[in-house]
């Protein structure tokens, strides 16, 4: 027992003879089959150190099935969080190679979870090892789901095993493991080929929990709700039993209008309204006025800058959804001019929202208003360019440490070029093509908003990259130029009056944006071709 523990303490040292590492590893593996249970448990604990230190996975790969078999036997004998942590480390190391074992692992971990929960229920002690092991089982399941995220068919296989856990633990019975269960729900709704009706049955449970006791978990609940709406849009829109649109409205209106609820508690609410507008374009007209009404009402009494920005984004999204309808609602509420005077956030969605206004006919957007919106849009596009350039510089600085100065051809190297070199829209280019947008790990593990420590930081206004949306594929510069072309062809005289009243600086900005838009257009086409050829070749 002591020998197994000591071996683990030395696993991380640099062995002058690698054979000694191999021999020590073999001894630890042998210890997992020792007649004495304490020796087997300590051997598992030491194995974790060896797996972490292992440089060549071929040291472990041949004995992986045997190792997992020993794990399952031990998990039937004892509830120990170190067992689960070691298993998690192995899954993390081997990644997609765990695919053949994913179903068996999830089944065994689910069985272990239920045993741990039964033990925890029978023992009321706060630091009960069964309760700790139960949390560990759920975390290990999440790690497995993450490791096979590129293999959607496996999610179909594991769903029947995990559904009973999700159903039971999304109620008050699961308050102690609610965050871990929501992470599993997030993976299941994001990576499964489609969201099954069984998975949809979890929606009401989350809504009930949110209404009753789980408001502190609202950021966590946001992720699966976003997945349901964005990946199961048709079902969200057409199903009436239950009526998901109505239940979402009931919850959002209750939260947004609650005067006793702190600004920080309701931040996920406007994000969810944005998800609806962005994914259900042209199909939820009847919700535009109700959602705008509660948004404007909350905006009037909001003190926190980050929430103000989120609420303004809802209005921008509504404009992008349907500019004419949104403008008429804002005028009906008597806040149109008030709203546009608040427009100072450097958000991509605000660029899209303001640009959408430019397409409105003269009777809805008179000449003077058109000029104000045009100038504000140009200012926002330049601010957005600066934001993207700054983000690219920070990312490049981080990458320098990890990648020895590797830099993509698309990056704006000086970060402060002229308006004719508008910088790279990292959000639409590299990020849309990157693993980061696909990996739910970042989404499910980073639920909290970025502004917890500094409400007034400009960083608060960076886009929520962990959540995907249809506007990820829309380049604001190209969208602006295309909208202006429509305005120019549909009403040449109105366009001429606009350009004649523009100050020189805005004429220069407009030219810079136009040139950058064409550059972005060619870059996007190039990226699509590269992605297409990469898909074909693979």
Identify the burial level of 17 via C-beta atoms within 10 angstroms of its C-beta, where 0-12 means exposed, 13-18 middle and 19 or more buried. Answer: exposed
Q: Is residue 494 part of a domain?
A: yes
User: Rounded to an integer, what distance in angstroms lies between the CA atom of residue 526 and that of residue 530?
Assistant: 6
Task: Give the contacts of 63 (CB within 8 A, at least 6 positions apart).
Answer: 29
CB atoms within 10 A of CB 504: 7
Q: How far apart, in Å, do the first and last CA atoms of the chain sit?
A: 49
Q: How far apart are CA 375 and CA 365, in angstroms?
A: 14
| pLDDT for position 129 | 62
Looking at the structure, tell me whether residues 232 and 323 fall in a common domain: yes
Per-residue pLDDT reduced to its tens digit, 79-101: 778 888 888 889 998 999 999 99
Model confidence at 399, pLDDT cuts 50, 70, 90, reads low
Domain count, the chain: 2
What CA–CA distance (Å, rounded) separates 410 from 423?
A: 9
The pLDDT score that the predictor gives to residue 113 is 94
**Per residue in 448-475, pLDDT tens?**
333 334 444 333 333 343 457 788 889 9
Domain presence at residue 8: no
Q: What is the DSSP string of 368-430?
A: HHHHHHHHHHHHHHHHHHHHHHHHHHHHHHHHHHHHTT---TTS-SSS---TTS----TTTTH
The pLDDT of residue 538 is: 59
pLDDT of residue 11: 52
Q: pLDDT value at position 455?
A: 42
Q: Is 384 left (phi over 0), alpha (psi -120 to 50) or beta?
A: alpha
User: What range does the domain containing 259 cover?
Assistant: 204-345
Q: Which pLDDT score is estimated for 189? A: 97
Average pLDDT over residues 369-386: 88
Angle at 324 between CA 322 and CA 327, to 5 degrees: 100
pLDDT band at 149 (very low <50, low <70, confident <90, very high): very high
Asked if the structure places residue 423 within a domain, the reply is no
At residue 346, does pLDDT exceed 50?
no
pLDDT at position 268, please?
Answer: 96
**DSSP string of 244-295, one letter each residue:** HHHHHHHHHHHHHT-TTS-GGGGTHHHHHHHHHHHHSTTT-HHHHHHHHHHH
Residues 293 and 377 in one domain: no
| Judgement on whether residues 336 and 373 belong to the same structural domain of the protein | no
At 41-57, the pLDDT tens digits run 888 888 888 888 877 78
322 and 215 in a common domain: yes
Residues 265 and 384 both lie in one domain: no
Confidence (pTM) = 0.77
Produce one character per residue of 297-314: b if its CB has 16 or more CB atoms within 10 Å, e if not.
bbbeebebbbbbbbbbbb
Share of the chain above pLDDT 90, in %: 50
Statement: residue 379 has pLDDT above 50: yes
- Is the domain of 388 the same as that of 262? no
What rounded mean pLDDT belongs to the chain?
Answer: 82
User: In angstroms, what is the C-alpha Rg of the chain?
Assistant: 27
Residues 231 and 337 in one domain: yes
Q: In this predicted structure, what is the pLDDT of residue 128? A: 61
**300 in a structural domain:** yes
For residues 22 and 280, the model is more confident at 280
Looking at the domain assignment, is residue 537 inside a domain? no
Is 3 part of any domain?
Answer: no
For the domain that residue 322 is a member of, what is the CATH number? Answer: 1.25.40
Is residue 134's pLDDT more than 50?
yes
Is pLDDT above 60 for 202?
yes
pLDDT confidence of residue 250:
97
Q: What percent of the chain has pLDDT over 70?
A: 80
- Output the six-digit token pair for 260: 């006793």
Using CA atoms, how far apart are residues 244 and 141, in angstroms rounded to an integer?
28
Give the up-direction half-sphere exposure of residue 498: CA atoms within 13 A in the CB hemisphere: 23
Contacts of 146 (CB under 8 A, 6+ apart): 187, 439, 440, 441
The pLDDT-based confidence of 433 (bands split at 50, 70, 90) is: very low
Indicate if 382 and 292 belong to the same structural domain. no
Same domain, 253 and 331: yes
pLDDT for the residue numbered 15:
54
Higher-confidence residue of 407 and 474: namely 474
C-alpha to C-alpha distance for 283 and 50, rounded to whole angstroms: 55
Closest CA to 372 of 341, 332, 406: 341
Assess whether pLDDT exceeds 60 at residue 437: no
Question: For position 415, what pLDDT does the model report?
Answer: 39
**Residues whose CB falls within 8 Å of the CB of residue 134, separated by 6 or more in sequence, listed in order:** 113, 116, 117, 120, 177
Residues 305 and 379 in one domain: no
518 lies in some domain: yes
């Amino acid at each position: 027992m002591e020998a197994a523990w000591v071996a683990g303490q030395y696993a991380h040292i640099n062995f002058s003879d690698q054979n000694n590492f191999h021999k020590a590893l073999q001894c630890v593996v042998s210890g997992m089959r020792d007649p004495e249970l304490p020796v087997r448990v300590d051997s598992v604990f030491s194995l974790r150190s060896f797996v972490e230190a292992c440089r060549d996975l071929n040291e472990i790969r041949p004995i992986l099935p045997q190792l997992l078999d020993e794990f399952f036997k031990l998990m039937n004998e004892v509830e120990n969080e170190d067992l689960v942590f070691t298993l998690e480390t192995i899954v993390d190391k081997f990644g997609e190679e765990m695919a053949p074992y994913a179903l068996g692992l999830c089944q065994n971990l689910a069985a272990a979870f239920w045993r741990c929960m039964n033990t925890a229920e029978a023992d009321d002690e706060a630091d009960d090892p069964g309760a700790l092991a139960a949390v560990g089982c759920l975390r290990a399941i999440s790690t497995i789901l993450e490791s096979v995220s590129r293999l959607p068919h496996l999610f179909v296989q594991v769903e029947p095993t995990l559904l009973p856990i999700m159903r039971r633990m999304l109620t008050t019975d699961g308050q102690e493991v609610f965050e871990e269960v929501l992470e599993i729900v997030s993976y299941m709704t994001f990576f499964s080929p489609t969201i099954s009706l069984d998975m949809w049955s979890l929606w009401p449970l989350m809504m009930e929990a949110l209404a009753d006791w789980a408001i502190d978990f609202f950021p966590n609940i946001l992720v699966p709700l976003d997945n349901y709406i964005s990946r199961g849009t048709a079902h969200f829109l057409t199903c009436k039993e239950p009526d998901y649109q109505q239940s979402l409205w009931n919850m959002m209106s209750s939260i947004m209008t609650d005067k006793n609820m702190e600004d920080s508690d309701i931040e996920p609410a406007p994000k969810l309204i944005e998800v609806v507008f962005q994914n259900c374009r042209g199909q939820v007209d009847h919700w535009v006025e109700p959602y705008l009404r509660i948004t404007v009402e909350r905006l009037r009494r909001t003190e926190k800058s980050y929430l103000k920005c989120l609420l303004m984004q809802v209005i921008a999204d509504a404009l992008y959804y349907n500019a004419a309808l949104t403008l008429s609602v804002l005028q009906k509420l008597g806040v149109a001019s008030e709203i546009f005077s608040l427009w100072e956030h450097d958000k991509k969605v605000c660029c899209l929202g303001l640009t959408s206004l430019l397409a409105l006919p003269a009777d809805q957007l008179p000449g003077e208003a058109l000029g104000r919106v045009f100038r504000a849009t140009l200012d926002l596009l330049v601010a957005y360019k600066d934001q993207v350039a700054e983000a690219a510089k920070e990312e490049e600085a981080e990458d320098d440490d990890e990648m020895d100065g590797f830099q993509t051809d698309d990056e704006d190297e000086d970060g402060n070029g002229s308006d004719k070199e508008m910088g790279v829209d990292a959000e639409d280019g590299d990020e849309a093509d990157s693993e980061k947008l696909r990996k739910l790990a970042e989404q499910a593990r980073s639920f909290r908003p970025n502004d917890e420590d500094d409400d007034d930081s400009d960083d608060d206004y960076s886009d929520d990259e962990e959540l995907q949306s249809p506007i990820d594929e829309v380049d604001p510069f190209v969208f602006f130029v295309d909208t202006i072309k429509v305005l120019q062809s549909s009403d040449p005289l109105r366009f001429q009056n606009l350009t004649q009243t523009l100050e020189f600086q805005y004429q220069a900005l407009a030219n810079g944006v136009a040139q950058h838009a064409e550059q972005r257009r060619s870059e996007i086409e190039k990226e699509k071709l590269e992605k297409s050829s990469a898909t074909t070749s693979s």
